Chain A
Amino acid sequence: MKILEKFFDKIHPNFEKGQKYEKYFPIFEMMDTILLWNNKRNQRGTHIRDPLDIKRFMMIVIVALLPATLFGIYNIGFLHFEAVGVSATLWDMFLFGLIKFMPIVIVSYAVGGFWEVLFAVIRKHEINEGFLVTGILFPLILPASIPLWQVAVAVSFGVVLGKEVFGGTGMNILNPALTARAFVFFAYPGKISGDKVWTIIDSAKDKVVDGFSGATPLLVASGTPAGESAVKHVNDAGFSFLQMFYGFIPGSVGETSTLAILIGAVILIATGVGSWKIMTAVFVGGYGTALLFNAIAGPGSSGIFTLPAFCHLVMGGFAFGAVFMATDPVSAAQTETGKWIYGLIIGFLTILIRTVNPAYPEGMMLAILFMNVFSPLIDHYVIKANIKRRLSRAA
């Protein structure tokens, strides 16, 4: 520690205003404060400060993501070995997943980090820790088979157009990780939807077992013929509720295990880092809407209408979106009342898209992005209501 301290103290002057490397101060600041805790004293404002800073705040999100990440890595291997019909140990599966997943994470961090640093240097502001979270969130909502160059292009799109053009962290309207995913979704639909992408199979050497489908439960459910029970259709395809809850199903890396995601949710809520209001509202909105569709399901309506509400919540990206994506503090609604409305509508829209839109089996990503755009409007009305209350008091 002493050596590090001395080293940073020594090189610090070079990055001060008017010095040779002034331009690169943000990079220095990043390295310096990543390794050693800031020892600045309060000069303005309060004399004491709470020890929570943005770094720790973002670290908590990463910790909350760990269960889903670890399970996701294991699940990559599990799905692969199941598909090719080879028995493997737990460790083999995990290792297989790790080898497939780490390159995606590295590309995501490296390319996204590059843009983050570039903009910080040009704009002369500190590098924001928010990227630590975006960099891992994005790989978690991709299929493991995604080509790395697409990861690089998409994360560039997400960081630059989703965040930096609005003025950087704190100013962005859209969730950068979801923006990047939306980019892949529309630019390279073949690599992120359908039934071929979720399980890693090297067609040159792997031979899949008979009856392998690769489809996600949600895809199966959405393909239920009219008048049939969606839940039966899903069960027939080999997915029980518990299996979906634990997460042994095809899907994006981090989204499959509702259990792991719920552990993350507990961490976020207990530490106060994630908004319990938004999470609750999304689940309530989704559950309620699904019940509504169950009620109106008739013999003529498409089979997915009959999918029970509790199944919706453990399928696809619902839980992951509700816990980690909708709660992004920057792109969510900013007012406490607004958060309820924002979350409820996300839940509602997700189920609406899943049920009545034949083109997309999953609606979470679009619902959240859509509500990201509308959250300023929701806030606007909450703010206007506050202003009106104040004015009416005087009358």
Chain B
Amino acid sequence: MGEFKLKKGYDIPILGEAELVLKEFSNPDKVAILPYEFRGIKPRLKVQVGDMVKVGTPLCEDKEIQEIKFVSPVSGKVIEINRGERRLLMEIVVENDKKYTKENFKFKPSGNISKLTRENITNALLESGLWPYIIQRPFAKVANPQDVPRDIFISAFNTAPIAPEVDFLLEGKGKQFQKGIDILGALTEGTVHLSLQRKGNNSGNVLEEVTGVEKHYFSGPHPAGNVGVQIHHIAPVNQGDIVWTIKPEAVALIGELFETGAYPNERIVALCGSSLKERYYIKTIAGAKIKEIIPDENINDDEARYISGDVLTGIKLNENGYLGFNNCLLTVIPEGKKKRRLLGYFRTGIDMSSFSKTFLSSWISSKKKKWKLDTLAYGGQRAFIQTGVYEKVMPMDILPSILAKSILAEDIEEMEGLGIMELAEEDVALCTYVCPSKMDFGSILRQGFDLIEKEG
């Protein structure tokens, strides 16, 4: 058990948190899976348009590790297969017959987890399509079932901007969560680490009661809730280590799978963002169509951006598209206005919020004020200048700007030495947010990973 107080970082004061209200939308007409959400997966189709599928029927699999499958959350007919640029598989759409006929999995639910072998568990997770929720570090991609991780890490709270409350997502699911933890414990020879937020009083929390984990307490601004930051402080990833991470909601799904033996197709998704008039949590089927869940009347802005995940790391969705699987969060924020302002950099900045203190608002507005933030870049890309701002949002013993430079110089030895293996896009997303040169540190990081994987 550890107690960690992080100082560096930033809570972006963005408007649009969801109210802690749960609504239900049970029967979407169409659902889709979006395999590109999961990093490191090269999907190969297992179905064609017109095929009939059940809940749990594989729709596609990974080309490299074929055991990793993505399954249908409903029963019905495959009606569309949409590809994007370079024939990248974007969506496999299934028309819901609303009968929810279940695929017969080979594995059977078991009351006694201690009898299950590692192999039993791995196979069950692969067959049921829950495996892709397990993400490995380094490289922050879907885990390889052949690996035995040193430890497994779970962050039980979000600090990302307008991210959902984990406690609310897991309300009433304490039993499933505990079961999920027990199952994960059998997958590692090390420890399952659970990081909780140090608030005034944690009692009464589902996660406080969990056993079979080592608990750690974190406090501080974003990215304190990022599992990568927590790993760095608890037991960092060293050369040659592989650790796994999984989101708490997915832990509960694993527990549910082993309880019922069927694919758990229900998800609770937080509908957030300032473009939504009403913001709440919704219980629905995984991959439901966005238009069905959010009626047009609920949208504030003419042009809005739909994001699966949070505003820093989420994936841009098509407004006529479908909810992601990977995130229990759909953020809708206004697209930037096309109208241009005269001499923007000369403005007092009273109407804008900034991490820096170069805008008047930083001096006179209340710290608690939330801002309606849009998708403008606010400036053109420039050569990188070391303003020291990256260092202020990186609560790890890592030199972010030096690391970025070593990646751009393609110096593998140095980037490994500087800790690239400990990071994922989400951990450097704040650097991208605050960067005055408007660089994208996330894609620089991925460039480094690709180089390392290519060179072996």
| Bound-complex Cα distance A35 to B343 (A) | 5
Check: A19 CB closer than 8 A to any chain B CB.
no
CB contact between A53 and one of B357, B380, B388, B414 (< 8 Å): that residue? B380
Instruction: Among A1, A54, A383, find the residue whose CB has the most chain B CB atoms closer than 10 A.
Output: A54
Check: B191 CB closer than 8 A to any chain A CB.
no
What residues of A have a CB within 8 angstroms of the CB of B380 in the complex? 29, 33, 38, 40, 53, 126
Check: A202 CB closer than 8 A to any chain B CB.
no
| Contact call A49/B418, Cβ cutoff below 8 A | no
Check: B454 CB closer than 8 A to any chain A CB.
no
**How near does chain B come to A7, taking the closest CB pair, in angstroms?**
12
Nearest B-chain residue to A330, judged by Cβ? B385
What residues of A have a CB within 8 angstroms of the CB of B376 in the complex? 38-42, 49
| Contact call A46/B337, Cβ cutoff below 8 A | no
What residues of A have a CB within 8 angstroms of the CB of B401 in the complex? 334
Check: A238 CB closer than 8 A to any chain B CB.
no
Instruction: Among B376, B384, B436, find the residue whose CB has the most chain A CB atoms closer than 10 A.
Output: B436
Nearest B-chain residue to A170, judged by Cβ? B383
Q: A5-B340, A52-B354, A53-B380 are in contact. Are A47 and B345 (CB under 8 A)?
A: no
| Contact call B436/A53, Cβ cutoff below 8 A | yes
What residues of B have a CB within 8 angstroms of the CB of A387 in the complex? 414, 417-418
| Bound-complex Cα distance A275 to B384 (A) | 17
| Contact call A39/B441, Cβ cutoff below 8 A | no
| Bound-complex Cα distance A128 to B161 (A) | 32
What residues of A have a CB within 8 angstroms of the CB of B432 in the complex? 45-46, 49
Q: A329-B387, A394-B239 are in contact. Are A49 and B378 (CB under 8 A)?
A: yes
| Contact call A383/B358, Cβ cutoff below 8 A | no
Mark contacts of A363-395 with chain B using CB atoms, 8 A cut-off: 1 yes-contact digit, 0 otherwise.
000000000000000010011001101110110
Check: B391 CB closer than 8 A to any chain A CB.
yes
A contact residues, range: 35 or more
| Contact call A39/B354, Cβ cutoff below 8 A | no
Q: Is the interface of B mostly helix, strand, loop or mixed?
A: loop
What residues of B have a CB within 8 angstroms of the CB of A379 in the complex? 402
| Contact call B307/A47, Cβ cutoff below 8 A | yes
What residues of A have a CB within 8 angstroms of the CB of B435 in the complex? 49-50
| Bound-complex Cα distance A252 to B89 (A) | 65
Q: A52-B358, A387-B418 are in contact. Are A47 and B385 (CB under 8 A)?
A: no
| Bound-complex Cα distance A54 to B380 (A) | 8
Check: B184 CB closer than 8 A to any chain A CB.
no
What residues of B have a CB within 8 angstroms of the CB of A57 in the complex? 358, 385, 387, 436
| Bound-complex Cα distance A129 to B419 (A) | 32
| Contact call B338/A125, Cβ cutoff below 8 A | no
Instruction: Among A34, A53, A57, A130, find the residue whose CB has the most chain B CB atoms closer than 10 A.
Output: A53
CB contact between A52 and one of B312, B355, B399 (< 8 Å): that residue? B355
What residues of B have a CB within 8 angstroms of the CB of A383 in the complex? 399, 402, 414, 418
Give me 22 A-to-B residue pairs in the complex whose CB atoms sit less than 8 angstroms apart, sorted by A's number: A36-B342, A37-B344, A37-B378, A38-B344, A38-B376, A42-B375, A46-B432, A49-B435, A51-B378, A51-B379, A53-B436, A54-B379, A54-B437, A128-B382, A169-B383, A335-B402, A336-B388, A382-B399, A383-B418, A386-B418, A390-B418, A394-B240
Check: B386 CB closer than 8 A to any chain A CB.
yes
| Contact call A41/B375, Cβ cutoff below 8 A | yes
CB contact between B379 and one of A4, A36, A47, A55 (< 8 Å): that residue? A55
| Contact call B238/A394, Cβ cutoff below 8 A | yes
What residues of B have a CB within 8 angstroms of the CB of A128 in the complex? 382-383
What residues of B have a CB within 8 angstroms of the CB of A50 in the complex? 354-356, 378, 433-436
| Bound-complex Cα distance A209 to B378 (A) | 56
Check: A358 CB closer than 8 A to any chain B CB.
no
Mark contacts of B352-393 with chain A using CB atoms, 8 A cut-off: 1 yes-contact digit, 0 otherwise.
111111110000000000000111111111111111110100
Q: A29-B380, A59-B346 are in contact. Are A48 and B333 (CB under 8 A)?
A: yes
**How near does chain A come to B222, taking the closest CB pair, in angstroms?**
12
Check: A187 CB closer than 8 A to any chain B CB.
no
What residues of B have a CB within 8 angstroms of the CB of A37 in the complex? 340-345, 378
| Contact call B342/A4, Cβ cutoff below 8 A | yes
What residues of B have a CB within 8 angstroms of the CB of A298 in the complex? none
Q: Which of A99-107, A147-155, A265-273 contacts B (4 or more CB under 8 A)?
A: A265-273
Check: A60 CB closer than 8 A to any chain B CB.
yes
What residues of B have a CB within 8 angstroms of the CB of A332 in the complex? 386
| Contact call B358/A38, Cβ cutoff below 8 A | no
What residues of A have a CB within 8 angstroms of the CB of B443 in the complex? 44-45
**How near does chain A come to B426, taking the closest CB pair, in angstroms?**
10
Mark contacts of B386-410 with chain A using CB atoms, 8 A cut-off: 1 yes-contact digit, 0 otherwise.
1111010000011101100000000
Check: B349 CB closer than 8 A to any chain A CB.
yes
